[in-house]
DNA sequence: AATGAATGAGCATTCATTCAT
DNA sequence: CATGAATGAATGCTCATTCAT
């Protein structure tokens, strides 16, 4: 019951961020979109900053970590493929995540702890890539560059799929896009 | 004189967007940062929306087209390399551009005509890639996917260079990053 | 409760218009005078223009029609006397009405529908005077001239009573003033 | 030359007051309407208040006093008739005067000396009426009441003539209206 | 717990006034 | 003298937050 209301609040916030950006977010609009009273928001969150940071934590926790636990013992290329496929599906399923995540991190609302959390997924990826380099599977290039390529592509590609009415995320397009990605970074 | 003031306004806006996001932009802060009076902003722009859209148009006009004219008759791979190098330099020189452009397009301030203008650089790139595919230099993959890779990587890589205190944009890192990019899309 | 607040807003607006004219009206002053917060004004009215037009409609609805219904079947002279007495009392009771009405109609705040409403009381009077002329009680002079006399006198006289600390609206002064008025227009 | 510019300023002010009321008067609009630069207004007047008060003085000096000097030795009824006719003509010739005068006196711009001047015409009239009462020509009614009638009628009648497209100020309507007025106040 | 009307600090915008040209 | 761009105080309006119900 309580969870349901929380989810409605988060969904409303994501949805509105996609429409008006974080710049246009109003507490009253979030409440309206979530079909609750404005005051109720303040039973769940201390203030607007608190709400936005909570949503950020939730989104972060759902994506990277959720993937990691399922795949951490597979070979590197398979692991990267699974991550690619899963991340892409999740992002395309709700592209609003990306929009929110990107806007949030340079908004006046980010808390210190949110900033710290930003690198969780990147750090896991970095470890994976370092291991791949040692095992001669991955090019010996600064991991940060490799990560920029992988994440940048992931982000832009999912946005493209969502925005382009003619595109859909098929198994073929997942494979095709991963192939490009892998070819770029593999030794 | 007048131009100088306009530029100060635009620089101030970019700089502040990087610090607080579009959500945190105040007309008074922009004026202060540009060392003019708040009221003066309204001599140049009808209102906040007008100012932000004017900046968007200016940034769009300065980036992609500026590059295109210099390189359009070179071979595809050279052309891509030149674009990569120039775009990367320009973006790293002022990474605030990316931040502003990304935030602006989903803010409540975008005008209809700004939305239309979004795809100029992407369209040029698309043409170039199509040509490359015909000439068997580029993989026969949906151009939108290729563009997502190139632009996503460009964006994320420049952001990484700017944010990471230890990184600088050297000739080596330009070449290294382009090599990754090229390897991903070349046939 | 809600009505009470609305009335406090209207009273405050009238009172301030008398002191500083419509030119000097500030939303913040109205709120202060009504003992509410500035923001509360915007729960009841979209903006300043909306508030002023609503007050105008309310005043128009309260004055002329309120009188008319009580007297419409009496002989003309009695009817005019009753109207004179009642209107005078009402205007003197709250002379701010006149000030507001006069200022409002040439202010930048008048809406189109407010303009249309202006002539209600004058039209009733005109009908009454036409009837009086047919019955040989009233001079055969253009009704507009007669109305100008009656209303001009009414307006100026009530203003005089209100402004002059030594004057009060006694039965005697009502009768005396009406006698002048009647003598001017009677055949 | 200088006079011409002053007149253009005054005309512009009157004209704009009729359109937007004193509440809507902007120094920049006055300048534009007078075809001069905004700053030039401040060569002629210390500030907005000063300009408006100067206009008030000018209007007052042109009307009542101008009449008084021409007629002060004639019999009372003739004197009143002349005043009536002249005042009516002047007011109808430029009805903006009335609008300005009425708005100005309750605006936040009135200076103390303007307030004092307000009664000049009324005082002359009052003296005239007192004399008439002593000579048994005028009803023995409080002069303030009589003045309210005369001035209220004058004001409303001239406004009516100006606003009603079908009315014009003919000799007949001057005589007719004065007859009503005289009948009301004469013994 | 839930509500949403009320609050008032904060921001966008206006406009009287100044001053460099 | 004349200009009109520049100024910034003042005002309209918004919206995060509170609180009586």
Sites in chain A below the pLDDT cut of 70: 1, 64-65, 118-119
* pLDDT of res. D6: 92
Nearest to B24 by CA among B115, B118, B112, B107: B107
SS (H, E, C) chain C: CHHHHHHHHHHHHHHHHHHHCHHHCCHHHHHHHCCCCHHHHHHHCCCHHHHHHHHHHHHHHHCHHHHHHHHCCCCHHHHHHHHHHHHHHHHHHCCHHHHHHHHHCCCCCCCHHHHHHHHHHHHHHHHHHHHHHHCCCECCCCHHHHHHHHHHHHHHHHHHHHHCCCCCCCHHHHHHHHHHHHHHHEC
In angstroms, the CA D16 to CA B163 distance is 58
With a pLDDT cut of 70, the percent of chain C lying above it is 94
D138, D175, D184, best to mutate vs chain C, most C CBs in 10 Å: D184
Nearest CA of chain D to the CA of C135: how many Å? 19
Cβ contacts (< 8 Å) between C121 and chain D: which residues?
Answer: none
Token code pair at residue B77: 């791979």
* pLDDT of res. B102: 76
SS3 D136: coil
In angstroms, the CA A32 to CA A51 distance is 15
In the structure, what pLDDT confidence band is assigned to residue C61 with cuts at 50, 70 and 90?
confident
Q: How far from the centroid of its chain's Cα atoms is residue D48's Cα? A: 21
pLDDT of B8-20, one tens digit each? 999 999 999 988 8
In angstroms, the CA C177 to CA C155 distance is 12
Nucleotide nearest to C43 (CA to C1'): E5
Burial class (CB in 10 A: 0-12, 13-18, 19+), D117: middle
Token code pair at residue D114: 């303007």
In angstroms, the CA C89 to CA C98 distance is 13
pLDDT of C67-94, one tens digit each? 677 787 888 898 889 888 888 887 877 7
* pLDDT of res. D1: 60
> Cβ of C32 < 7 Å from strand F?
no
pLDDT of B67-114, one tens digit each? 677 787 888 899 899 888 888 887 877 778 878 887 887 788 888 778
Token code pair at residue B59: 């940034």
Q: What is the DSSP letter of D166?
A: T
* pLDDT of res. A64: 63
pLDDT of D24-72, one tens digit each? 899 999 999 999 999 999 999 999 999 999 999 888 877 766 777 778 8
Q: Average the pLDDT over D120-125 and give the result.
A: 78
Q: Average the pLDDT over C9-27 and give the result.
A: 90
Indicate the pTM of the whole model. 0.79
Bases of chain F with protein Cβ within 7 A: 1-20
pLDDT of B127-182, one tens digit each? 889 999 999 999 998 888 888 888 888 888 887 787 777 778 899 989 988 998 89
Nearest CA of chain D to the CA of C115: how many Å? 13
């Amino acid at each position: 019951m309580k969870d349901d209301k929380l989810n409605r609040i988060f969904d409303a916030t994501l949805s509105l961020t996609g429409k008006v950006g974080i710049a246009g977010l109003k507490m009253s609009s979030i409440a309206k979109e979530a079909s609750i009273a404005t005051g109720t928001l303040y039973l769940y969150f201390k203030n607007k900053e608190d709400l936005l940071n909570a949503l950020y934590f939730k989104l972060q926790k759902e994506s990277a970590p959720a993937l990691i636990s399922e795949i951490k013992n597979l070979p590197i290329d398979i692991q990267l493929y699974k991550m690619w496929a899963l991340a892409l599906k999740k992002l395309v399923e709700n592209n609003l995540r990306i929009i929110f995540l990107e806007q949030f991190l340079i908004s006046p609302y980010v808390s210190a702890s949110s900033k710290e959390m930003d690198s969780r997924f990147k750090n896991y990826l970095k470890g994976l890539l370092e291991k791949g380099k040692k095992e001669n599977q991955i090019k010996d290039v600064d991991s940060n560059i490799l990560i920029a390529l992988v994440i940048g592509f992931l982000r832009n590609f999912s946005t493209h799929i969502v925005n382009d009415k003619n595109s859909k995320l098929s198994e073929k397009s997942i494979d095709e896009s991963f192939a490009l990605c892998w070819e770029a970074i593999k030794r």
